[in-house]
Amino acid sequence: MKLSEQWLREWIDPKLSRDKLIEKLNLSGLAVESCEPYEDDFVLEFELTPNRGDCLSVLGIAREVAALTGNPLKKHAIKNYASKNKSIEVKINSPQYCPLYCGRQIKNITAGKTTPIEIQKKLLKSGINLIHPVVDITNYVMIELGQPLHAFDLAKINKHIVVRQAKANEKLLLLDKREITLDETVLVIADAEKPIAMAGMLGGLDSGVTNSTTEIFLEVAFFVPSIVGKNARRYGIHTDGSHRFERGVDPTLPPIAMERATELLAEIYPNLEVVGDTVKTDKKYLPKSPKIKLRPKKITELLGYEISEKKSHDILKSLTMTVTKNTVIPPSYRFDITQEVDLIEEIARVYGYEHVPSVLEQRSIKGHIQSENIKPLLEIKNKLVSLGYQEVVSYSFISQDLQQKISPDIKTSALENPLSAELAVMRSSLWGSLIEIVQHNLNRQQDYLRFFETGLCFKNNKEEPVISGVWAGLSHPEQWGEKKREVDFYDIKNSLEQLNSGFTYKAGNHPALYPAQTTEIFLNNKSVGFCGALHPELQKSFDISIPVFLFEIDLEAVTTKKIPQFKTISKFPSIRRDISLTLNKKIPAQELQDYIKKIAGPSLSEVGVFDIYKQHIALKLIFQLVDRTLVEDEITQQMTKIISGLTEHFDVTLRT
């Protein structure tokens, strides 16, 4: 937000130089991004955080300066133009979104008038274009007080005004000449026939003020922030009015802004006449300032230093808060103050962070004892980094379309007020973001991609911490010492083995993965995740031409480990036997190994796959005892039992 320094000093004249004033504002958290000369003035540009919508005006900044410097605000008497006569009829059909609506019918708006030079200069310094005297005044009052206003050409309004939710497929031609299609989620200002404005965002072109306008209907209302914010982002509309409404506008401002606008219009149009007023309000839906308990002990506890009760109360009073003993009521324009910690933050901010004493805190050092079976998350991350993965951090929200592609069967939560359509629902998997990151890098000619992310997934109204990874493109960076090849399933499976050697695997199904290359991951016979190749249809939809393999596991499965236990090392020799089998149908190698372990005696110390060729698999079996040397007859008996069991239990034949 840009602001004229001279305009600010019309409201308060602190006995501070410009540099000291800027320093004071910066220290209080109201960042002054720049201060540029402009003719005989300076323009201050503020970078305000979203919670400080109350500072989006000259009045708002002046209030802050008053609290920081102890100088009172200058009084501005505003002439009263209120009329007991009624304006055109106004109906409020959606009070839950518009609990306060003020309207004023004004005539004798004559052509040929211009906006006063002083007002023009102030608007231009604030980055506001000059349009028409009536529109300029509504913009001026918005910058001055923080209350957006809108003026309709009364001759273009059919019968009455109604604030309602739009009907499905209603059309509205906006002031920016863009026609949009509305639905029931959009709050509109309408006449008896059609919508004439999007509430709190932008007016309609057909009802706008022009040089031929002679009578206007001035609208000043309070719109609930959520309804404006949600639809402003949905339709890509960002106006000075919507920017303020979605952050919260003081619900006590509309009548004041109405009088101020009328006063300024009367200076331009001497014959101006107020025909009538309309005020519609539903107090049930108006925001109410909370009563917050403030404990001196809590102030000291959180800040680490003492501020006297009188000083803390004086600071809060300077911010126009109502203070009675240990109860504080924030002003109506401070939507961001809802709890005790907010009050304490305000005390520290105004008291001045530069006054915080530098004290070396004395504390006893206590060791943190961590269970032996818990593996720190940092250790897991470092392991993946050592394997060539890069950590990424993405939003917890994805688009509805991407959510449907990744996890169509999982119920997810849609955001009421999404930042955009691309961030509309809570993610049920980290894969969506990882795939988009692969696509982004692939479009930049990268072909060796390994990423991982840890975070929360949201499934069926539950939060689940997971770790996910993706490996796409080449199995290793291109080099002279090894042939170039693409990543395969066993590459990414090896990464999982590095995280937890206790995982077992079974053929599985996941809508985002290719059925022929998908495995479900188990730990202690409990399903903990999936691993496999990205489904070809998904690859096609993302326009990805390289192989993509993914895994996603419950975080607990990799941060929990078995406690190491001592095992006697045998001093006797081991004996190896190999089995070569022909598989007459597809059988997971893990099933063969699990079965051998089950039927073999205690002398079997190890079993593993050492060769695979088409439908043939070769297994190594290591036999060893800790107390003696095995004899040939024992090994022969064991091998006979294992081979017999395999051929009977599975559709396999022994290769000789």
Q: Across-strand partners of 425?
A: 398, 414
Confidence (pLDDT) at 363: 56
Location of structure tokens 């004493």: 357
Location of structure tokens 């007991």: 84
349, containing H or E segment: helix 340-351
User: Rounded CA gap, 318 and 343, in Å?
Assistant: 13
Determine how many CB atoms are found less than 10 A away from the CB of residue 461.
9
Higher pLDDT, 202 or 459: 202
Residue 523 DSSP SS3: strand
Location of structure tokens 């943190």: 368
Sheet (strand 2-4) strand order? 2-4, 41-47, 31-38
Closest CA to 523 of 510, 505, 509: 505
Confidence (pLDDT) at 592: 92
Q: Across-strand partners of 215?
A: 107
Q: Is residue 46 a contact partner of residue 1, using CB atoms and an 8 Å limit?
A: yes
Which pair of structure tokens corresponds to residue 4?
A: 């004229």
Which pair of structure tokens corresponds to residue 370?
A: 């961590």
| Averaged pLDDT score across all residues of the chain | 90
User: Rounded CA gap, 167 and 184, in Å?
Assistant: 5
Residue 459 DSSP SS3: strand
Q: How far is CA 213 from CA 105, 132, 272, 372, 423, in A?
A: 13, 10, 13, 79, 42
Confidence (pLDDT) at 352: 83
What is the rounded end-to-end Cα distance, in angstroms, of the chain?
83
Average pLDDT rounded to a whole number, residues 105-113: 93
How much is the pTM?
A: 0.67
Closest CA to 272 of 257, 287, 262, 260: 262
Between 161-175, 176-190, 301-315, 560-574, the lowest mean confidence (pLDDT) is in: 560-574
User: Cα 469–471–476 angle (5° rounding)?
Assistant: 135
Rounding to the nearest 10 degrees, give the CA dihedral for residues 352, 354, 360, 364: 30
Closest CA to 455 of 441, 469, 438: 469
Residue 327 DSSP SS3: strand
In our burial notation (b when 16+ CB lie closer than 10 A, e otherwise), range 580-619 reads: ebebeeebeebebbebbeeebeebbeebeeeeeeeeebeb
Q: What is the pLDDT of residues 34-61, one digit of tens each?
A: 999 998 899 999 988 888 999 999 999 9
Q: What is the pLDDT of residues 518-562, one digit of tens each?
A: 999 999 889 999 999 999 999 999 999 999 999 999 999 998 877
Confidence (pLDDT) at 361: 58
User: Rounded CA gap, 601 and 624, in Å?
Assistant: 11
Q: Is the dihedral of CA 434, 438, 444, 449 positive or negative?
A: positive
User: Rounded CA gap, 341 and 474, in Å?
Assistant: 52
Helix 296-303 and helix 340-351, axial crossing angle in degrees, nearest 10:
60
Q: What is the pLDDT of residues 182-232, one digit of tens each?
A: 999 999 999 999 999 999 999 999 999 999 999 999 999 999 998 998 888
Q: What is the pLDDT of residues 274-306, one digit of tens each?
A: 999 999 999 999 999 999 999 989 998 888 888
User: Rounded CA gap, 418 and 202, in Å?
Assistant: 20
Between 67-81, 90-104, 256-270, the lowest mean confidence (pLDDT) is in: 67-81
